Homo-oligomer: A and B are copies of this chain.
Amino acid sequence: MNYILKIFTQDEKGLIYKISDVIFKYHINIIKNDEFVGEGMFFFRAVLEGKFNQNALIHALRTMLGEHSLIELHEKRKKDIIIFVTKESHCLGDLLIRHYSNELEANIKAVISNYDALENLVSKFGIPYHSIETQNLSRIEHEQRILDCLELYSFDYLVLAKYMRILSPAFVKHFTNRIINIHHSFLPAFIGANPYKQAYERGVKIIGATAHFVNNNLDEGPIITQAVLNISHEYTWQDMQQAGRNIEKNVLSKALELVFEDKIFIYNNKTIIF
């Protein structure tokens, strides 16, 4: 059985020694460990192997590191996710195929959409699809229906795979650091609506996509990963949109891989990724 240990605390001298000392005393093997010191903080992640008393290890680490440290220890396991979509199939389709082929370190528990456009595709794979339309509903009412729907499932993360509605701060607050979005621009350029059109107007020579955690401010959450694509004056904004789809799905899948393997720390609205 493998475990992931994550520690986040104020930096001080000898931390690696002290932590590995504790781990060693429990006869646990460290398969891989990474650490980073930045802005006075210490970030540590290790993959542990062996049989041991998890609570005892956490207790020993906490005694040594103090109450204010973050210490997380859990078994390596597949995560459970709910995917949100609107009408575009490229990101969703990529995740469905990976899921089908057992290449996604997650179980797709359900897909939620504000349209029924993708129900046929999702149903091919035997995954529940909830079409929660917005007609005649206020934002609050619509989000309440989504929250009600989410009650049906246990899940680790919500994945916005081209979900084209903005989630309210009230909604986001329920799932701090648990919502991942793919934004179709190289953030922070072209925040907001139709970034490809903005990119065309500005005449950029490179476009991109950004996967990030969602926080209260639109497109301003911690960035997980980004990728770019060279373009030329020959691209209309529709061409950019078309070409950008490949980048979007690749960036989202890459980001989810990092999330699902518990490789990410969030600090000061930035990510530390091991």
CB proximity to B under 8 Å, residues A215-274: 222-228, 230, 232-234, 242, 245-246, 250, 253-254, 268-273
A residues near B (Cβ < 8 Å) are 13-14, 16-17, 20-21, 23-24, 29-33, 35-38, 89-90, 93-94, 96-98, 100-101, 103, 121, 124-125, 186-190, 202-206, 208, 222-228, 230, 232-234, 242, 245-246, 250, 253-254, 268-273
Instruction: List 18 A-B residue pairs with CB atoms under 8 Å apart, sorted by A's residue number.
Output: A13-B29, A14-B24, A20-B20, A21-B21, A31-B37, A89-B97, A93-B100, A103-B245, A186-B186, A188-B204, A203-B222, A203-B271, A205-B223, A205-B224, A205-B226, A206-B227, A206-B228, A233-B272
Cα–Cα distance between A24 and B100 once the two chains are bound (Å):
49
Q: Are B23 and A17 in contact, CB atoms less than 8 angstroms apart?
A: yes
Not counting A32-B37, A202-B223, a sample of 13 additional A-B residue pairs whose C-beta atoms are within 8 angstroms of each other reads: A13-B29, A17-B20, A17-B21, A93-B100, A103-B242, A103-B245, A188-B189, A188-B204, A202-B270, A203-B270, A205-B225, A205-B226, A206-B226
Distance in Å: Cβ of A72 to nearest Cβ of chain B? 18
Can you list the 10 inter-chain pairs with the closest CB atoms, starting with the nearest? A203-B270, A93-B97, A17-B20, A17-B24, A189-B189, A124-B124, A233-B272, A89-B101, A205-B226, A206-B226
Distance in Å: Cβ of A51 to nearest Cβ of chain B? 14
Given contacts A100-B121, A246-B250, contact A187 B204 (CB under 8 A): yes
Q: Are A89 and B94 in contact, CB atoms less than 8 angstroms apart?
A: no
Among B101, B225, B230, contact of A93 (Cβ-Cβ < 8 Å): B101
Chain B residues contacting A121 (CB-CB under 8 Å) are 100
Cα–Cα distance between A20 and B254 once the two chains are bound (Å):
33
Chain B residues contacting A271 (CB-CB under 8 Å) are 203, 233
Cα–Cα distance between A29 and B13 once the two chains are bound (Å):
6
Q: Are A16 and B38 in contact, CB atoms less than 8 angstroms apart?
A: no
Q: Are B100 and A97 in contact, CB atoms less than 8 angstroms apart?
A: no
Cα–Cα distance between A31 and B253 once the two chains are bound (Å):
34
Cα–Cα distance between A96 and B227 once the two chains are bound (Å):
24
Distance in Å: Cβ of A21 to nearest Cβ of chain B? 6
Chain B residues contacting A242 (CB-CB under 8 Å) are 103
Distance in Å: Cβ of A151 to nearest Cβ of chain B? 30
Among B35, B125, B203, B206, contact of A33 (Cβ-Cβ < 8 Å): B35
Chain B residues contacting A29 (CB-CB under 8 Å) are 13-14
